[in-house]
């Protein structure tokens, strides 16, 4: 058995840490993000040997490439992954179907009907195992920010877990009513939902500032569920391998590179695709699909990563003006040089701008394509897929569909990630489809359930006081 992969901060302040440490730490103490010190490889033969595996067994094999017996015994790793997959309603966990001349990877069959369930079911079970086996003295306070889906997925992954308190911040009035109810109807005493006056980026800034307050961080034993946590990204690589194998079950596509279109906000989902490609998965184009909040599209087309105010859209989970995971990609773009990356980030934090050009921009454009879909284009995609194929898209998934249409990538070797169930966004979908399809019973019943919610001002100290009081 080869030893487990180690991890270092993108900004160079912490180096060669093990998997357990980076999962429990979340954000590096120098404000960087943890990245693998090396990438394991998957050969064509090995990939072929995985073709007949169930999703859970495939996921165990992919994750074991990073996580060896020195971190999690093989039997325990299999147990963690299989219990996580058992929380899904579909036997394939993330089924792949053909719609409109391309593949769709359905990532919404978990407890909260969104793609984040895949990673957050696993992260909750990893947290539980590490706490049971000595980490943090058995205590962890998870502080997370959500633009809609992370919050409920984290809550469903952590509810009732021994030794864990979970505090989720969300922007007041900027998540869909169903997303809010998915969070606030969970009655477990270790779950705390907090509405913050502001945007998702404000919530995310409060979380990052709290990780950068050592006294507070150490006192409450802070942990992260946002995709700044490496475990989130690692868990998401599994469905790229799965969908590649399902698409290439078609013998005509066996030697093709497979393209992926990913609705993108915080950059974690598509980064998992980039890392899968680094491991040897035969990936063609990785399409960054954005809504009106298009900082990433502007970067990949013009080399301009400029922070702008958030525009409220019908795809709220992508209403993000700074993508926290993007730092991991920028580190690789900088040639894995933490000094260069730290300089870029310091300058960005001061000026709200980062510009690249020439060879660097060409490299970025070789790694990723991008497209932007506004509200009208998003609704047009929802309407078209319902009328032509009787297939209903959520507004985020529709952004990914619009992107492949714009880039002329509608083909059998293209996979569009369907990131959430449309019933989570009835107001948006109703602008394209009327009457709406019947929602799943698990979402329909939310309106009748009691809710629990706290409010906090948009202030780091106020949130930290709230957290400290809750976990005292």
Q: Model confidence over 371-424: pLDDT tens digits?
A: 999 999 999 999 999 999 999 999 999 999 999 999 999 999 999 999 999 999
- The model's confidence at residue 472, banded by pLDDT at 50, 70 and 90, is confident
Structure confidence by residue, pLDDT tens digits, 67-109: 999 999 999 999 999 999 999 999 999 999 999 999 999 999 9
User: Taking the C-alpha atoms of 242, 247, 248 and 250 in order, what is their torsion angle to the nearest 10 degrees?
Assistant: 140
Helix (H) or strand (E) holding 352: none
Residue 116 falls in the annotated catalytic set: yes
What tokens appear for 165 in the block? 């308190």
CA 430 to chain centroid, in Å, comes to: 26
Average pLDDT for residues 46-52, to the nearest whole number?
Answer: 98
pLDDT on residue 1: 60
pLDDT on residue 352: 97
What tokens appear for 18 in the block? 């093990």
d(CA 153, CA 162): 18
* pTM (predicted TM-score): 0.97
d(CA 419, CA 193): 23
pLDDT on residue 326: 97
Structure confidence by residue, pLDDT tens digits, 412-470: 999 999 999 999 999 999 999 999 999 999 999 999 999 999 999 999 999 999 999 99
List of residues 6+ apart from 113 with CB closer than 8 A: 420, 421, 423, 424, 440, 442, 443
Backbone angles phi, psi at 52, to 5 degrees: -85, 0
Alpha helices in 53-138 (DSSP H): 55-64, 74-85, 116-132
Q: Find the catalytic residue in 116, 208, 285, 424.
A: 116
Residue 325 reports pLDDT greater than 70: yes
Count of Cβ atoms closer than 10 Å to residue 376 Cβ: 9
Residue 2 reports pLDDT greater than 80: no
What tokens appear for 111 in the block? 């407890």
């Amino acid at each position: 058995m080869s030893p487990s992969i180690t991890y270092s901060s993108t900004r160079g302040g912490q180096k060669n840490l093990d998997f357990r440490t980076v999962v429990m730490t979340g954000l590096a103490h120098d404000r960087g993000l943890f990245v693998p010190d090396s990438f394991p490889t998957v050969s064509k033969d090995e990939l072929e040997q995985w073709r007949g595996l169930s999703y859970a067994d495939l996921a165990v094999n992919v994750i074991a490439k990073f996580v060896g017996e020195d971190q999690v015994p093989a039997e325990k790793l299999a147990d963690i992954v299989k219990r996580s997959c058992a929380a899904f309603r579909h036997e394939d966990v993330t089924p792949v179907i053909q719609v409109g001349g391309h593949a769709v990877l359905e990532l919404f069959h978990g407890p909260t009907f969104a793609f984040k369930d895949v990673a957050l079911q696993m992260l909750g079970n990893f947290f539980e195992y590490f706490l049971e086996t000595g980490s943090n003295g058995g205590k962890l306070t998870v502080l997370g920010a959500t633009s809609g889906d992370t919050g409920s997925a984290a809550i469903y992954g952590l509810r009732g877990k021994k030794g864990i308190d979970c505090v989720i911040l969300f922007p007041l009035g900027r998540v869909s009513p169903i997303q809010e109810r998915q969070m606030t109807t969970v009655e477990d005493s270790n779950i705390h939902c907090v509405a913050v006056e502001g945007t998702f980026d404000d919530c995310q800034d409060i979380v990052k500032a709290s990780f950068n307050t050592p006294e507070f961080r150490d006192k409450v034993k802070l942990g992260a569920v946002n995709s700044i946590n490496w475990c989130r990204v690692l868990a998401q690589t599994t469905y790229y391998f799965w969908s590649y194998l399902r698409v290439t079950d078609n013998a005509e596509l066996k030697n093709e590179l497979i393209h992926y279109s990913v609705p993108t906000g915080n950059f974690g989902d598509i980064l998992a695709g980039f890392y899968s490609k680094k491991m040897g998965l035969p990936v063609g184009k990785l399409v960054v699909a954005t809504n009106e909040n298009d900082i990433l599209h502007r970067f990949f087309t013009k080399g301009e990563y400029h922070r702008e105010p958030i525009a409220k859209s019908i795809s709220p989970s992508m209403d993000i003006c700074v993508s926290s995971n993007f730092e991991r990609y920028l580190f690789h773009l900088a040639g894995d040089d933490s000094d260069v990356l730290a300089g870029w980030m310091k300058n960005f934090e001061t000026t709200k701008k980062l510009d690249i050009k020439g060879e660097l921009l060409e490299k970025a454009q070789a790694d990723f394509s991008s497209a932007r879909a506004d509200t009208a284009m998003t609704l047009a995609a929802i309407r078209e897929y319902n009328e032509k194929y009787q297939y209903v898209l959520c507004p985020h998934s529709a952004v990914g569909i619009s992107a492949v249409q714009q880039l002329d990538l509608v083909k059998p070797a293209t996979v569009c990630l369907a990131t959430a169930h449309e019933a989570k966004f009835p107001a948006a979908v109703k602008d394209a489809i009327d009457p709406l399809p019947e929602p799943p019973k698990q979402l329909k019943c939310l309106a009748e359930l009691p809710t629990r919610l706290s409010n906090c001002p948009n202030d780091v100290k106020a949130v930290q006081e709230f957290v400290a009081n809750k976990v005292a």
